Chain A
Amino acid sequence: MFVGLTLGVAVVFSVDIANQSAKRAFALSLDSITGRTTHQIVGGVSGIDEGIYTQLRTRLGVRQSAPVVEGTLTVQGPDGSESLQLLGIDIFSEPMFRSQLSSLQDVGEPGDATRESLALLEFGAVFTGNSTAARLGLSIGDTVKVKAGGATRAVKLANVIDTTHQAAFDSMVMTDIATAQWLLDMSGRLSRIDLITDNPAQLEEIKNTFSEVSIADASRRNNALVQMTGAFHTNLLAMSLLALLVGAFLIYNTVTLSVLQRRMLFGQLRVAGVDRQALASAIVIEVLAFTLLGLVAGLLAGYALGGVLLNLVTRTINDLYFTLEVRQLNVSVFNVLKITVMAVLAALVAVAVPAMEAANSPPVTLTQRSALESKTGRLLPWLATGGCALGVLGFLMLWLSASLLMAFCALFMIVIGYSLLIPGSLYWAARLTGKMSFSGAGVTGNYPMRSLSASLSRVAVAVTALAVAVSATAGVGIMIGSFRASVADWLDQTLQADFYVRDSESLDNALPQEFVDAVDSLAIVTGKRLSRMFDVDAGGTPARLLALELTGDMNRGLSLIGHHTSVDEQWTQWSAPDSLFISEPLAWQLALNAGEKLSITTENGVRDFHIAGVFTDYGAGRGLIIMPMATMHLHWQDRGLSSIGVSLNAGSVDDADRFRRLVKPWPQLLVRSDGDIRELSMRIFDQTFAITHILRLLTAGVAFVGILSALLALTLERRHEFAVLRALGLTPNEMRRVLLSQTAWMGLIAGLLALPLGILMSGILVAVINRRSFGWTMQYSVSTGVLWESVALAFIAALLAAIYPAWRIGRMLPTQALRQR
């Protein structure tokens, strides 16, 4: 009972705190990136003119403003190199903005923070997080090589920031704005100006004074980020809810069994004169005491497990969204309270029925199992009816509401509803199998099934837990499989060039013109895909803009969805001025469709663009906008290229080598073949879902323990029955076979029962939940492999669980068991 409780609590608790810690780190990191900023003055690709900041300060008197120069650079230390975000600030404009400077305040006297942060003013001085410094093997005072935009320069690590409370700093380099402009080749330009203002008149004045820039609402930018990762957290939450459900089953199961196996004892106690109430309360108190013990152990185990899960969660966020370093588990009273309430409630519900029954039944029936079994039998129709009702309600909710939360509630209800049907199905399945004739196998042929249907009350909950756990693994497995297949297809379609060349630091950096010219003069290139990528504000939401130009035999490489016009027609529309394609997630986020208008802030002000089509995109993060290069040039000054894709004469190894040699003189450029990119993408995909694999295993583990404890209790309780069988002449091996065949049957039934639920669940995950949270449409495909795997998982879990009880049965001395009776 103890182990069951501990495991149930541990799984739910660990998922919960890992999820929460990641969320909290995310909020902290948002805070240190954008701080208390309410608005941001942003420009085009190359940022904004630094003179705007001077004007703001000296002419408009906008005091709560801070200039920012940011970009990506590679920092090389003795112990490795890492790509980090560079944040260039003006220390004198910062005080009210970002919290990072205050982290220096943790040491020493008040005022030291100001003094220490002034070290940034020295040209070439940088700060970084203490853990980043440790990872790279750097100490304060070291000269550090950094690489940005193709040039390697030396800076000095002037101080480190304690990242205990500043998680975001772990992957950031902070420096003075002058040093940042130097490192990023951005002299004269700022990436943005942060503002704190709630004064619309002031914003209006800024807008009127500087027509060339736009003012973005920082909270909206943050919201977009929160939304992005929010979807991921919601999916995790779903996993933790499934774990909770399985955990609750497990607790229910263990508690029920611990009461059931002592029915005899309770009967004897009643005979001995213990009154009903005393007995009931004794049972409840005992169970609660055990629950609390299990709870404490479970919390401890969950905390340890949480650390492991947190790493996985963080890695997923890093892969999908942005660098986030979390080392601290964040546990609130609320987490503990939530899990305590869950455990105690599950235990109370579990104990209520047997305790009341034990207390209310006449003593003599207590000692007879048949009484209980017949009651269980009477309960089945009610369970089934309730289950059906819940399921119908769940589907109604899915159908009626478009919200993500409702979708989860519905999924949960369908799962519970289905699980209520399992005991009934089990009963009928047992009766059905029991009616079949296995007479050829002798007494061990018919006996196991028929005896099992007689002990339904013991095994139903365990089988249900196993079935739900397996269905969850099947459901998620099918979902991931469908997703993976969709992503692979999408990559095949998108990656049309043989090689892609980009700046190794950032897509914001333009390729050197000499390189572009060199590619132009290379005769072996049969087609090119020229692109420029940068961030824009689209209808109030930050998005990535990709300007595209295809030449030669380069294929388009986009999969357009929506069928109201032909694909060719959509491409024709796209080529017209002020037209574009948007990605499916962006369309979902902005509730826009082909044929509608999208406003984008360009260097010439806000412009409306015609949406010629919507394309499939599984890139996480910001929504993507694709427009022709010529259209981009109409609205932005930038003439650089972020990447070039080339196709070469098919299959020529020489040509590939020639192309690679061409890129060699520019060490800052990164060449990747389509194969490399495909492989990398799939690796990231698999990494992303690593956490779901772990959770599937955990869920299966919980179910395994459920089966094990159910079997242990069952064998303990049926000792007498087994002893009689032994006395009748069954050998220990035959006894084992009886037990193993019973559990194998249980596992098989659980596995089979899990399949419809698993398929149902994956259907909801693919068609509803992922669409509602990410805006991704996937092709739904069920691989028979996953189905077989699930049945096998249930079967093997049950068999494994039976090994120990079977071994015990074999060793049982019949005489002793009979004598105890």
Chain B
Amino acid sequence: MKRLIWALISIVLVSCGDSHVDNATAVVSLHSELGGDATGYERACAPRQFSFPQDHQAHPEFRNEWWYVTGNLSSRDAVKLGFHATFFRIATQPYEETISNSAWETSQFYMAHFAVTRQGDNQLYADERFARAAVGLAGAELKDGLADVWLEDWKFTQTVAGSRPQWHLQLDADNGAAIDLTLTARKPRVLQGVDGYSRKSADPCNASYYYAYTRLHAEGEISTANDAYSVSGSAWLDREWSSSALAENQVGWDWFALQFDDGREVMFYQLRETDGSASEFSSAVEINQKGERQVIPAPQLVIDRWWESDSGASYPVEGRLIRADSNEIIKFSPLIDNQELNLTVRYWEGAIELFNEAGTAIGHGYLELTGY
């Protein structure tokens, strides 16, 4: 559910001529732009039949797609760390129409970024890269029945197939930050929305195909600039592809991926409209210990604290979710405040810790704040 992000990337990649837009106006102008832009691309207008492992690889007939991994980890000496790593695919043309016989000519591009967060730091270790899906520089393909997603030597490689698949995630930056993790699914795949068809606005084709692995066991190494840690913990994988996105009146996005210590997960996203209210297409689901998915009413979001980044944006990094069905109160606070990713696309994506009303730790998760 990272629509805003791809929207911003798209504007970077596609609307190159329009040189005087800042991020806020970019988002707004994008909405009007998107209506007609999906022409020629395939669109998600109704549920479809998913098939695996094929759906682990790229769907180039759609405009954009991502493989998005987030996770909370702890080292042997109990240092808490968070990470997120994403591979985005962006198409600049609905179909591949090659004029030349140059292998470099393509309309499919990849962007990947990752960040590592360490408890007690006041900074994020992050990096990003771009490459075209040509001459083997980047892609998402099946190799021997396993999905291989890569951008140069950054890799998200499936190593085990089946209902409990396994991946190897490997990225590193020149600044020393690195991720080298084995991710093993602990629960089956979840199809979000209606059988994987996730609708985002009144237009049925403003939707995406969306599935997730909400609990993966993570084990491996994480490095910040100077320190390397042997870590283990849990991660979350989101897979989504679509061709059209936000409605005109939607400005931003708060997205929660919560993993409770009792084995449950909650996914909740709230689209913010121009008037500040939550869109009716916001959505929440709970996945129980057995991996069964259940739609729940959208919880109420109460903001307790804002944090202002060096770039001048303010983010609601601390607050409470009040469940409408059970009145359960889930308090969240960031592992560290400064988890703003200030690369080509600027937004806040951070590890959070969860507490009950009494202040007892009950789990952790990832929070994404965009459009601020």
In the complex, whether B227 has a CB less than 8 A from a CB of chain A is no
B99 near A115 with CB under 8 A, answer no
B103 near A188 with CB under 8 A, answer yes
Of the listed stretches B12-20, B114-122, B239-247, B312-320, chain A binds: B12-20
Q: A50-B135, A57-B137, A58-B152 are in contact. Are A116 and B105 (CB under 8 A)?
A: no
Q: Distance in Å from the Cβ of A769 to the closest Cβ of chain B?
A: 48
In the complex, whether A795 has a CB less than 8 A from a CB of chain B is no
Q: A61-B153, A123-B99 are in contact. Are A109 and B104 (CB under 8 A)?
A: no
B102 near A182 with CB under 8 A, answer yes
Measured CB to CB, the nearest residue on chain A to B131 is A92
Across-interface contacts of A187 in B (CB, < 8 A) = 100-103
A57 near B153 with CB under 8 A, answer yes
Q: Which of B19, B101, B135, B344 contacts A107 (CB under 8 A)?
A: B19
CA distance A123 to B106 in the complex (A): 8
Q: Which of B16, B105, B129, B135 contacts A51 (CB under 8 A)?
A: B135
CA distance A121 to B12 in the complex (A): 12
B104 near A178 with CB under 8 A, answer yes
In the complex, whether A181 has a CB less than 8 A from a CB of chain B is yes
Encode A196-211 as 1/0 by CB contact (under 8 A) with B. 0000000000000000
In the complex, whether A212 has a CB less than 8 A from a CB of chain B is no
In the complex, whether B355 has a CB less than 8 A from a CB of chain A is no
Q: Distance in Å from the Cβ of A60 to the closest Cβ of chain B?
A: 8
Give 22 A-B contacts (CB < 8 Å), ordered by A residue: A50-B103, A50-B104, A51-B136, A53-B135, A63-B174, A92-B129, A108-B20, A115-B16, A115-B19, A118-B13, A121-B13, A123-B99, A124-B99, A177-B102, A178-B106, A178-B134, A181-B100, A181-B104, A182-B99, A182-B101, A187-B100, A188-B103
B104 near A177 with CB under 8 A, answer yes
B100 near A123 with CB under 8 A, answer yes
In the complex, whether B150 has a CB less than 8 A from a CB of chain A is yes
Most buried by A among B13, B105, B174: B105
Q: Which of B100, B130, B134 contacts A182 (CB under 8 A)?
A: B100
In the complex, whether B92 has a CB less than 8 A from a CB of chain A is yes
Measured CB to CB, the nearest residue on chain A to B173 is A63
CA distance A283 to B186 in the complex (A): 99
Q: A54-B137, A115-B12 are in contact. Are A108 and B104 (CB under 8 A)?
A: no
Q: Distance in Å from the Cβ of B22 to the closest Cβ of chain A?
A: 7
CA distance A92 to B151 in the complex (A): 12
A119 near B17 with CB under 8 A, answer yes
Across-interface contacts of B89 in A (CB, < 8 A) = none
A118 near B16 with CB under 8 A, answer yes
In the complex, whether A176 has a CB less than 8 A from a CB of chain B is yes
CA distance A115 to B130 in the complex (A): 13
B12 near A118 with CB under 8 A, answer yes
In the complex, whether A819 has a CB less than 8 A from a CB of chain B is no
Across-interface contacts of A92 in B (CB, < 8 A) = 129-132
Across-interface contacts of A58 in B (CB, < 8 A) = 136-137, 150, 152-153
In the complex, whether A520 has a CB less than 8 A from a CB of chain B is no
Measured CB to CB, the nearest residue on chain B to A57 is B152
Encode A681-710 as 1/0 by CB contact (under 8 A) with B. 000000000000000000000000000000
Most buried by B among A108, A121, A182: A121
Encode A39-61 as 1/0 by CB contact (under 8 A) with B. 00000000000110110011101
Q: Which of B13, B19, B153 contacts A108 (CB under 8 A)?
A: B19
Q: Which of B19, B106, B109, B136 contacts A54 (CB under 8 A)?
A: B136
Q: Which of B13, B20, B134 contacts A112 (CB under 8 A)?
A: B20
CA distance A716 to B135 in the complex (A): 85
Interface residues of A in 164-193 (CB under 8 A from B): 176-179, 181-182, 187-188
In the complex, whether A114 has a CB less than 8 A from a CB of chain B is yes
Across-interface contacts of B19 in A (CB, < 8 A) = 107-109, 112, 115-116
In the complex, whether A90 has a CB less than 8 A from a CB of chain B is yes
Measured CB to CB, the nearest residue on chain B to A183 is B100
Most buried by A among B13, B100, B129, B131: B100
Q: Distance in Å from the Cβ of B40 to the closest Cβ of chain A?
A: 16
CA distance A121 to B133 in the complex (A): 12
Across-interface contacts of B106 in A (CB, < 8 A) = 178
Q: Distance in Å from the Cβ of B370 to the closest Cβ of chain A?
A: 17
Measured CB to CB, the nearest residue on chain A to B132 is A92
Across-interface contacts of B102 in A (CB, < 8 A) = 177-179, 181-182, 187
Q: Distance in Å from the Cβ of A123 to the closest Cβ of chain B?
A: 5
Q: Is the interface of B mostly helix, strand, loop or mixed?
A: loop
Q: Which of A63, A116, A181, A188 contacts B16 (CB under 8 A)?
A: A116
A59 near B130 with CB under 8 A, answer no
Interface residues of A in 3-56 (CB under 8 A from B): 50-51, 53-54
Given A182-B102, A187-B103: 13 more A-B contacts, CB < 8 Å: A50-B104, A50-B135, A58-B152, A90-B132, A109-B19, A109-B20, A115-B15, A118-B12, A118-B13, A178-B103, A181-B100, A187-B100, A187-B101
Measured CB to CB, the nearest residue on chain A to B11 is A115
Encode B134-145 as 1/0 by CB contact (under 8 A) with A. 111100000000
Q: A57-B152, A58-B136, A58-B153 are in contact. Are A176 and B104 (CB under 8 A)?
A: yes
Encode B333-351 as 1/0 by CB contact (under 8 A) with A. 0000000000010000000
B153 near A178 with CB under 8 A, answer no
Interface residues of B in 79-109 (CB under 8 A from A): 92, 99-106, 109
Across-interface contacts of A188 in B (CB, < 8 A) = 103
Across-interface contacts of A107 in B (CB, < 8 A) = 19
CA distance A107 to B19 in the complex (A): 9
Interface residues of A in 553-596 (CB under 8 A from B): none
Q: Distance in Å from the Cβ of A611 to the closest Cβ of chain B?
A: 40
Interface residues of A in 54-94 (CB under 8 A from B): 54, 57-59, 61, 63, 90, 92
A59 near B153 with CB under 8 A, answer yes
Q: A51-B135, A178-B104, A181-B104 are in contact. Are A119 and B99 (CB under 8 A)?
A: no
Q: Distance in Å from the Cβ of A476 to the closest Cβ of chain B?
A: 51
Q: Distance in Å from the Cβ of A377 to the closest Cβ of chain B?
A: 78
CA distance A90 to B13 in the complex (A): 14
Across-interface contacts of A178 in B (CB, < 8 A) = 100, 102-106, 134
Measured CB to CB, the nearest residue on chain B to A125 is B16
B344 near A114 with CB under 8 A, answer yes
Measured CB to CB, the nearest residue on chain B to A124 is B99
Which 7 residue pairs are nearest across A and B when measured between Cβ atoms? A182-B100, A178-B104, A181-B102, A178-B105, A92-B130, A54-B136, A57-B152
Most buried by B among A59, A119, A187: A187
CA distance A109 to B23 in the complex (A): 11
Measured CB to CB, the nearest residue on chain A to B136 is A54
Q: Distance in Å from the Cβ of A764 to the closest Cβ of chain B?
A: 54
Q: Distance in Å from the Cβ of A659 to the closest Cβ of chain B?
A: 35
Measured CB to CB, the nearest residue on chain A to B13 is A118
Across-interface contacts of B105 in A (CB, < 8 A) = 123, 178-179, 182
Across-interface contacts of B22 in A (CB, < 8 A) = 109
Across-interface contacts of A59 in B (CB, < 8 A) = 153
Across-interface contacts of B101 in A (CB, < 8 A) = 182, 187
CA distance A405 to B86 in the complex (A): 59
CA distance A388 to B134 in the complex (A): 74
Q: Which of A54, A118, A124 contacts B135 (CB under 8 A)?
A: A54
Measured CB to CB, the nearest residue on chain B to A56 is B152
Q: Which of B99, B100, B104, B129 contacts A90 (CB under 8 A)?
A: B104
CA distance A179 to B103 in the complex (A): 10
Most buried by A among B16, B92, B131, B132: B16
Q: Distance in Å from the Cβ of B137 to the closest Cβ of chain A?
A: 6
CA distance A90 to B104 in the complex (A): 9
Q: Distance in Å from the Cβ of A429 to the closest Cβ of chain B?
A: 74
Q: Distance in Å from the Cβ of B236 to the closest Cβ of chain A?
A: 27
Measured CB to CB, the nearest residue on chain A to B20 is A108
Q: Distance in Å from the Cβ of A505 to the closest Cβ of chain B?
A: 18
Measured CB to CB, the nearest residue on chain B to A176 is B104
Across-interface contacts of B16 in A (CB, < 8 A) = 115-116, 118-119
Measured CB to CB, the nearest residue on chain B to A186 is B102
CA distance A819 to B20 in the complex (A): 82
Measured CB to CB, the nearest residue on chain B to A184 is B102
Encode B10-51 as 1/0 by CB contact (under 8 A) with A. 001101110110100000000000000000000000000000
